Chain A
Amino acid sequence: QAQLVESGGGVVQPGTSLRLSCVASGFTFSAYGMHWVRLVPGKGLEWVANIWDDGSKKNYADSVKGRFTISRDNSKNVLFLQMNSLRVEDTGVYYCTRDSVMDVTNWFDPWGQGTLVTVSS
């Protein structure tokens, strides 16, 4: 079945960078839009960024625009999130998830298990 596995999280200082990866299996990766969502302590789930199936279009939450970059390698079934100029408020568990579509409605399924990013001095 469809599966997503994230990696790349860690403990970093403010102002530094981190690159997250998400390996997809069990489905035709190149046929789906993909998203990053984070679980922020005390705040819940926050949508971070998405990328179209062919990588041609990307969108970002205002809170990460200009600092984060989403990308994908469809030849290797991998989704990336390059995070620069990290802030304490970027701390959280980062999930990759697939865009599921029926007619004109969308939802996220499946999700990975998440990778923890801690930004602290």
Chain B
Amino acid sequence: DIQMTQSPSSLSASVGDRVTITCRASQSISTYLNWYQHKPGKAPKVLIYAAFRLQSGVPSRFSGSGSGTDFTLTISSLQPEDFATYYCQQSYTTPMYTFGQGTKLEIK
């Protein structure tokens, strides 16, 4: 099974900060990597699919990069509504998709 490891597990930042979250796969997954945002009590929401493709309607301050085993999600300028938990997900071994453990982004 492919393991997905995110870092950091939690992060404190301020509005306007540039934030980067990292996701590492236990084996190469090409660009089969998605990023989701999840707020308590809400439905999770896809931000980025195929490593760098921005989902329609997602603000351009979100971007994704990487291939192989190492990936990043970057938020260029944090907004108040961005405080949430972020998950990466590999879609290389369909349908047994696996998620990272999550990164909780909190207000400093």
Contacts and interface: CB of A to CB of B under 8 A. Distances in A.
Interface of A: 4, 33, 35, 37, 39, 43-47, 50, 59, 61, 95, 97, 99-100, 102, 105-114
Interface in B44-66: 44-46, 49-50, 55
B96 A95 contact: no
Contacts, number: 73
B52 to A, nearest CB: 11
A109 B50 contact: no
Contacts of B94: 106
Interface residues of B, number: 27
6 contacts: A44-B101, A46-B99, A95-B43, A107-B91, A108-B89, A111-B43
Contacts of B83: none
Contact of A50 (B38, B85, B95): B95
Interface of B is mostly: loop
Contacts of B49: 100, 102, 105, 107
Nearest to B100: A44
Interface of B: 31-32, 34, 36, 38, 41-46, 49-50, 55, 85, 87, 89, 91, 94-102
Contact of A110 (B43, B89, B91): B43
